[in-house]
Structure formats: C-alpha cells, structure tokens
A and B are shown apart, each in its own frame.
Chain A
C-alpha cells in the first residue's frame, strides 16, 4: 500500500486531503509543519508528499530543500498552495516540487495527479473520482 505524507498546518485541509486519499486506498500520515515532516521522513519511507507552503517553523520550500538534500530514496512531491503567483510556483519547482497545485484542489484533480505521479491507475476505470 502506498504511503503519503500530508504536510499542512491547517487541520481542516489535512482532514480533507486525508479523506480523498484514504478513500482511494492510500495510507496517510500527517505533519503540521516542515520540521515535523522531517521527523517522519527520518523514520518512514513515503511514496509521495503533499506539501503546503506557508507553515510555521519550517515552510514547504524549506522542507523540500531539506528533503531533496538527503541521501534517501526520493519520492514525488506535490506542493499545494493558495498562492497562484508565478514566482511561488518557480520557487516550488526550484525547491524540489514535482507539481504545483492551487488550493482548493478538487478531489478528482488531486487523485488524478497523485495516481499519475505514482505511475498508478485506478483499479476500476469506471470508478467516479
């Protein structure tokens, strides 16, 4: 079972994303900021990261830079933010994001991107996302 780490300081957003991903069969772990996420990364192998930008202690950019500098198996990262500015998107990709999505992300869109990045397809193609 694929394991996804959701990193967001907003509890409602974590719950929203967790619901979408768990309904699709993923195992989900949550972190409230980049520092807590790095602690998870030290102990667990993740298949994908869903990362907010603006968080206290260590933001999404900082987390990704730290993550990408580590000598560990790397996994794709989706940066999710309310900010649509081109500069933020450039910074996200420069920090190591594989995809930048603007909140709020519709369930079907999020799942579609997650599956693509993981090289997966839905078990039932007729399943409504």
Chain B
C-alpha cells in the first residue's frame, strides 16, 4: 500500500484534514471529487440568491448548500413552512441547527407550530434541539403551553415541562403547579416537581404536599417533592 501526505490550500485542507494519510488512490479520488465542487464557502453561497432558488437549495444533496439556504432564507417572508418541512426530514445536525436558528429568528406562528411539531418526532436530537429553540421564544410559545400540557401524549407533556425549564415567563410556576395538581401521569409530575424545586415559591408548597399525598408509594416523587419543599423553604 502506498501512503502519501498531501499539501493543500487552507480551504481544501479543512475538507481534507481527515485525509492526511491515505492511500494514493484514495487521495486521487478525493481530489477529483473536490475539483468538481465549488472551492470556497462563498462560492456555495453565491450559487442562487432569490427566494425560489434558496427554497430549491434547501433540498440540495450538499449539506453546505442546505445550510446556507436555511440561513439566507431569513431575509424572505413566508418561508417558515418550507423550513419546517425540511427540518422534519433533515438528518444533518449542522443544517438542523441553522434551520432552528432561522425559525427562531422568524418566530411567526408557522415557525412556532413547526417547533411544536418537533416535540412529537422520534428523532431525539431534533426534539431536544427544538426544545432549546422554543426556550428562546417565551412570548411566542406561551399561548400554546396550556394546550400542550393537556396533550394526550404524556411524552409531549414531559417535553413541554422541559420547555418551561428556561422559559423566562411569569406563568411558569403556575403552569407547573397545575401539572403537579392535575396531571395523573407519574413522570409528567416528576418532571414538573424537578423544575418547581428550582423556580418554585411558597405558592407551590400546598401543591407539593398534595402531590406527596397523591403518590405515597413512589420514592422518586417523595424525594423530589421533599427536595423542592426544602429548597423553597431555604428561599
């Protein structure tokens, strides 16, 4: 086997940093492939700039093209639906990240509903990223919280509690109190009581005591509620 070390330009070097030592034939194949592609990131971005072109680029096979398209679509209106549709099938983490950033910055109703749809996806990475994005939109997400906390799927209710974790909104405590008072699902209550230990006030005390009464045989609920009560008492 012939080994070789290649010297390439800085940009090409970025592409080939993992190929520094390869067989000669592998390097030749990689160089041929690279030659058929634009040589700089700006080249990728300059391909198409109008809305229609960017929407097409959003489905390009090259993740770099999709990433730039998702970023540049921010300057156009009525693109949330297309971004959401792409988001739900996108597999490249860096593209998902950019789409979420763009949707967060757009923040219209369609973008919010798209983020909420991600709570139901089987893709844990996408779901978690969407939850983090939703935390950045407290005022936009707030109108949907009550509805989500009544969702028939307990996982969606748990993820909604996760959204509340860093949501800077005055109703967070009252939503959490409602959950531990009304929700019948152990894990939904468990998620809410965790958070009440961090954001709860004296207002939460009666609900926490009632929760302990509702789940007397559940060690985790007893532990978490006691911890929350202790933290609240400590101020």
Contacts and interface: CB of A to CB of B under 8 A. Distances in A.
Contact of B124 (A13, A19, A61, A107): A61
Given A13-B194, A54-B162, A103 B220 contact: yes
Interface residue SS majority, chain B: helix
B198 A16 contact: no
B219 interface: yes
B158 A82 contact: yes
B81 to A, nearest CB: 26
Interface residues of A, number: 26
B186 A56 contact: no
A62 interface: yes
Contact of B219 (A56, A88, A104): A104
A106 B218 CA distance: 8
A10 B186 CA distance: 16
B223 A16 contact: yes
Contact of A54 (B128, B220, B224): B128
Interface in A77-93: 82-83, 85, 87-88, 91
Interface of A: 10-13, 15-16, 19, 53-56, 59-62, 82-83, 85, 87-88, 91, 103-107
B220 A16 contact: yes
A85 B120 CA distance: 12
A104 B197 contact: no
Interface string B126-139: 01100110000000
Interface residues on B, range: 20 to 34
B220 A10 contact: no
B228 to A, nearest CB: 8
Contacts of B220: 16, 103-106
Contact of B227 (A12, A62, A105, A107): A12
Contacts of A87: 122
B132 A56 contact: yes
5 contacts: A15-B227, A54-B127, A55-B128, A82-B154, A82-B191
